[in-house]
Amino acid sequence: MTWPMVAQLPKSTPVVIPIAALEQHGHHMPVFTDSMLLGEVVRRTVAALDDRVLFTPLMWLGNSHHHMDFPGTMSASPRVYLDLLIDLAENMLTHGFQRILLLNGHGGNIVPAQQATFELRQKYRHRSDLLLLSSTYWTLGGEPWTKAPSLQQRRVGHACEYETSMMLRIAPHLVRNHTGAQEMPFGNSFEPAHRAWITKDRTSVGHIGHPSVATAEKGEAIFQTFSQDVIQLIERMIRWDGTSWEG
């Protein structure tokens, strides 16, 4: 799009800023996994919503310091990343847009994305017309095992059954010997409290979960479920009346 094309959009048009990562994904998956998977979710979402939404290019750099013990990972430190997300969203506020979604595809970005939208709301507290959201595509309530009953995991891990299946669906040539990967249990460390961790606290090989049982068919079911969740969220943004708390 040219800048005049962007300028002509209604300011109530939802702006979706996809944010992902470049980080290790075990012995069997490429370091660009999170960005590739979110990119596919975005592709399917764009196809469903046509021109009713403005999508920015995907931000491939994430907050991945917990993976830095594994070569190939690139990361913005947490406070730098927080400022980056604030700037990305505020850029679009400066251009007059009122409805912004940070659409996330990496676990390490969840807290910074929430904090970024929280801080922006405080800064623009005099505004009653803003909708500032952050969401991770796999946390919107979808249950992909209803489409693929053979799914063994009931939550997303890292380079796990879910992510490996999704990559087998879109780029199987990039998945290497996943059937020989051992299961790395999620464990239960002081739950329901949240324990600070780095990846090597939990796994020596880099993955968490059960990648050996991944299939492309499961991946398609996962993509269908999570993409539909994102579409429904954005449709709620479109329907929002512009002032109310409910949406």
Residue linked to tokens 């290497």: 176
245 CB-near residues (< 8 Å, 6+ apart): none
Which residues are bridge partners to 29 per DSSP? 25
H/E element holding 15? strand 15-19
Structure tokens at 71: 């070569």
Answer yes or no: is pLDDT of 247 > 90: no
CA angle, 36 then 134 then 222, to 5°:
40
44 CB-near residues (< 8 Å, 6+ apart): 223, 227, 231
Q: Is the peptide bond before 192 cis (omega within 30 degrees of 0)?
A: yes
Domains of the chain, start order: 10-235 (3.40.50.10310)
Neighbours of 216 (CB within 10 A): 16
State pLDDT tens for residues 125-137: 999 999 999 999 9
Residue 181 DSSP symbol: P
Structure tokens at 143: 């249950």
The DSSP annotation for 46-83 comes to HHHHTTSSEEPPPB-----GGGTTSTT-B---HHHHHH
CA angle, 191 then 197 then 202, to 5°:
85
Which amino acid would we find at residue 156? V
State pLDDT tens for residues 125-169: 999 999 999 999 999 999 999 999 999 999 999 999 999 999 999
Mean pLDDT of the chain: 97
How far apart are alpha carbons 149 and 235 in whole angstroms? 28
Least confident range from 24-28, 129-133, 199-203, 243-247: namely 243-247
Answer yes or no: is pLDDT of 50 > 90: no
Q: Residue 194 — very low, low, confident or very high, per pLDDT cuts 50/70/90?
A: very high
Residue 52, phi then psi, degrees to nearest 5: -85, -5
State pLDDT tens for residues 81-101: 999 999 999 999 999 999 999
Rounded CA Rg of the chain: 18
If you average pLDDT over residues 108-133, what whole number do you get?
Answer: 98
Give all strands of the β-sheet with 131-136 in edge-to-edge order: 54-55, 15-19, 99-104, 131-136
Whether the CB-CB separation of 59 and 203 falls below 8 Å is answered with no
Neighbours of 113 (CB within 10 A): 27
Share of the chain above pLDDT 70, in %: 100
